[in-house]
Chains A and B, each alone.
Chain A
Amino acid sequence: MAKNILLTALLLLFSASAFSQENQKKFWVSGTARGLFNLDELNSQVGDSTTAPKSEYGHTLVDLSANIRPNKNTFIRTTLRVRNEYGGFWGSGITFDVRELYLKGLIANSVRYQIGDINYKLTPFTFYNNTEELYENSLDIFNMYADIFHYDLFYDNNNSWRQQGIATDFSLSFREGIEELQFNMFSSRLNFGGGATDDRLFFGGNVTMVQSKHFSAGVNYINLMDIAGTSKSTEQFENPVVTGTYKFSTELNDVDLELTGESGVSRSSIENHATAPVNEDFFNYAKLSADLKPFDVTLSMAYRNVGPEFRSVGAQARRLKYTTQSSFYTRYTNNEIVRPIGMWDIYNDASIYNTKISEGLDNYYPQYNNVDPYGLATPNRKGFDFSLARVDDQGRYTVNLDYGMLSDVIGQGIDDLRKYNTISAQSEVNVHQFIEGFDRKVLVQLGYIQTQTKRTSSLLPEANSDLNSQRINAGITIQLTGDLDLMAGYESFVSTGNDQIADRNQFDEIKNLVPYEVDLSETITGVGLRYMFNENNDLQILWQEYNWSNSKYFNLDNSRLEEKPDYGFNRIAVAFKMKF
């Protein structure tokens, strides 16, 4: 019955679309489509006659967006997702979902608004969806799956979080003194009230004064707040954050200089709770950039000091959940032990990602990012980040070099501070542009990142930390014919050492420091073909091989080392993607 209703609705949508084409585009249909098929094989390094080694699965789906413009100041969009699991026939395995619904418009030609689903962000310290570990600088051949679930989970919109609520913005222009005052506001609902849980609202906005093209400054405010009286609960969580931002830019000869920064304070509390602490702290951040135009080089230096009790739920919420169990080949070996999460899952498993903002500092994976797991807003960090970028003016290559030297603001469990060093070198080279007369595009990607956490204590050797992680990747994309590319890539991730990881209670207080150890080695190798029908439509055929080994697997859920045999995966995949 539901299927018939949906089919009828789709027919009506299309017929309405055809009719509306005669009526100055009051209605049109857009969307995306994809088909994905995977054949995976688990390779366990110990005898495993229990787990079925091969698994084939996939789906096809269409996101059909109805775009409606009833008048020149109003726009409505609703997107219907029709998904059919591989092997589903005659309605079996087919799901229908309303993927998004919003309306937006303009009031009196001056105030913009959007109601329903909104994508929103403010600053990295107030409301910001930090990119997950391993995504940045990933190779073309490995990021296809991540790109798919970035789209599915609404991550693909410039570090914004998908919310359900209302947003509005407007500006006031002035003839003298200042150019413009910009106002942005939003409000969304994170929890439904009733029972034992209050309604939880997340709201805020900013006011930015643009004095000139050389100077602007603003004030940001966000607050996540439980609304008293909407349930039987007498305890209300609240986390207001107030920050000030500034941006100053000028040109000195051939050098463009820009100074940006943000400073602010936060407060996190649970009202009417007898034992919940009140966390209050502040942060400062400043970044000076210099664009040396004659050399096509941009240099920057940033300083940050984020207090240990700085809490900002909108900026510290993590995309990647900490979990010891994936949804894919959850168990392996004849003893049916839980398969540990690895880089493969981070690249492929959408179920380990968050789509909601919630209070508290979630656990993270120290092996993948122990430096700033909560982005720039990571509490208890201070120090400098340096960056050098060169983009060749003829488009032949880009090079990015980054160096970070951070430390704790205050010690954890001991006065000695951890030091966090990061070295990163990334480059993309269009090889064909170096060879005259060579008419096939050849793109080479090279990347190297090393992070180190180190603490040396002269008083307590057990407090010493030395956690090192290293990621190396290399990829190549070769144009075989006009629209057909050959892609190949290799990535290695190694993490060894130890640290003391904070184990926090429900109030975010550190109740224990657990002795974390790791001896991890992972590799992914891949080869594939990509046919580009056009820039919005491609077909990829991929083969990938993955290997995982960790002789010191530490389970942060129970604070114990566990024995986990090596494992790996082979995959053959076919993926068709299209936007229309």
Chain B
Amino acid sequence: MKHIFSILILATVLSSCERDISTEGPSLFDIYGDFSVKQALDVSNRSVDFAAGETTTFTAEFSKSVNWELTITGNTSGAQKLITGFSKELDYETALWDGSTTIFPMFKEEACSVELFIPSDSVTLTETLAVKTVKTNEGFLISDFEDGFNPNWEHFFQSGVNFSTATDGAPQGNSFYNMAGTCGWDWLIGMVNIPASAYGSSTFVELPENADKVYFNVLLNLPEGITNSKLLIRFKEDDNNDGVFSDGIEDEYTLWFDDLDYGWQQISVKYSDLLAGGENAAEPKGNGVHNPNLLNYIDILLLADPSTGFSQVDMDYMIFTENEPLNP
């Protein structure tokens, strides 16, 4: 019996130990009370060298969890990055900016305004920062049109049509490619042919073999009022490694756009998701395997019903990325 009492006494002593904290977690008085800003909006890095891999974090703390919208706007370019969330605080998990863009154009080296808006309480907090250098994107760049039309590319334009580079409103850099014109006798208005040889080899050998890891990205713009444009992008592979694409016996995959939204938009497609055929999917005619590294030609065709008159689609920043879509 004496053992029982000894142990009970020991247990009582142990259970009577005190802890030096009285509550855990944020105060419910704060959570259910009126909204207030406990820590103002702050920026961890006010002059961000994105090209060097730097990022910047926005921090703020509220009295309770709320929906919030953070908007970073380039003062010169008008570029916008939007970050939204529902939380009690902004931190590196919820509000980190790597220099990427949500609404084109992309950011330039410029001063930016930062606005944090809490819709439920109509509270706005502001800050500023500067983009010291812009974000660089890893990948195989086909063209950003900053140096004009690549002289090693080929093209075909209908009579009276001439695609050209333009500068007004480029989503990336200062220039984009303006594809526009009228053709009253044919669906094809103009075509650009991009051979792999323009990059030093008969195929795009820099691309990985695994089609699940390769993304084709391009920025496209459909101007307001244009309703008839159709864009076909063809990816022609040299399956038999003879240096040329042979129609009918080698794989040709396509992207077909006839319902683009108005304005600049990003198109990113995993190479393995490309389908054979144009408007209508068909069986590939070569080895039936998506082979990015055997890509021999990329054709870009602007089409429109000849009876509908003028048509236009603009293009910029065509790039292959690896493992993930372009994060512009």
Contact = CB atoms under 8 A, between A and B. Distances in A.
Tell whether A pairs with B.
yes
A263 B14 contact: yes
Interface in B305-322: none
Q: How would you classify the secondary structure of chain B's contact residues: helix, strand, loop or mixed?
A: mixed
A248 interface: yes
Given A263-B14, A511-B88, A559-B86, A412 B23 contact: yes
Nearest to B65: A512
B28 A462 contact: yes
A510 B11 contact: no
Interface residues of A, number: 41
A425 to B, nearest CB: 29
B27 interface: yes
Given A261-B7, A413-B31, A500-B28, A282 B17 contact: yes
B7 A246 contact: yes
B185 interface: no
Given A410-B19, A559-B65, A259 B24 contact: no
Given A263-B11, A307-B19, A513 B31 contact: yes
B1 to A, nearest CB: 8
Contacts of A415: 22-23
Nearest to A462: B32
Contact of B24 (A257, A261, A412, A462): A412
Contacts of A165: none
A514 B65 contact: yes
Contacts of B25: 412-413, 502, 510-513
B65 A411 contact: no
A11 interface: no
A526 interface: no
A381 to B, nearest CB: 13
Contact of B19 (A409, A411, A510): A409
A558 interface: yes
B86 A410 contact: no
A513 B28 contact: yes
B24 to A, nearest CB: 5
B29 to A, nearest CB: 6
Contacts of B19: 281, 307-308, 409-410
Q: How would you classify the secondary structure of chain A's contact residues: helix, strand, loop or mixed?
A: strand
B181 to A, nearest CB: 41
Interface in A297-330: 303, 305, 307-309
Contact of A308 (B21, B32, B86): B21
Nearest to B17: A282
A510 B88 contact: no
A305 B88 contact: no
Contacts of B31: 413, 462, 512-513
Looking at B7, B15, B28, B32, the one whose CB has the most chain A CB atoms below 10 A away is B28
Contacts of B7: 246, 248, 259, 261, 286
Interface string A539-580: 000000000000000000011100000000000000000000
A215 B3 contact: yes
A414 B29 contact: yes
A411 B24 CA distance: 6
Interface string A43-82: 0000000000000000000000000000000000000000
Interface string B279-293: 000000000000000
Contacts of A281: 19
Interface in A185-232: 214-215
Nearest to A502: B25
Given A248-B7, A303-B15, A409-B19, A414 B86 contact: no
Contact of A460 (B8, B21, B32): B32
A560 B85 CA distance: 12
B60 to A, nearest CB: 14
B87 interface: yes
B307 to A, nearest CB: 38
Contacts of A414: 23, 27-29
Interface in B81-110: 86-89
Interface string B12-51: 0011010101111111110110000000000000000000
A16 interface: no
B24 A410 contact: yes
Which 6 residue pairs are nearest across A and B when measured between Cβ atoms?
A510-B25, A413-B28, A462-B32, A411-B23, A463-B28, A284-B14
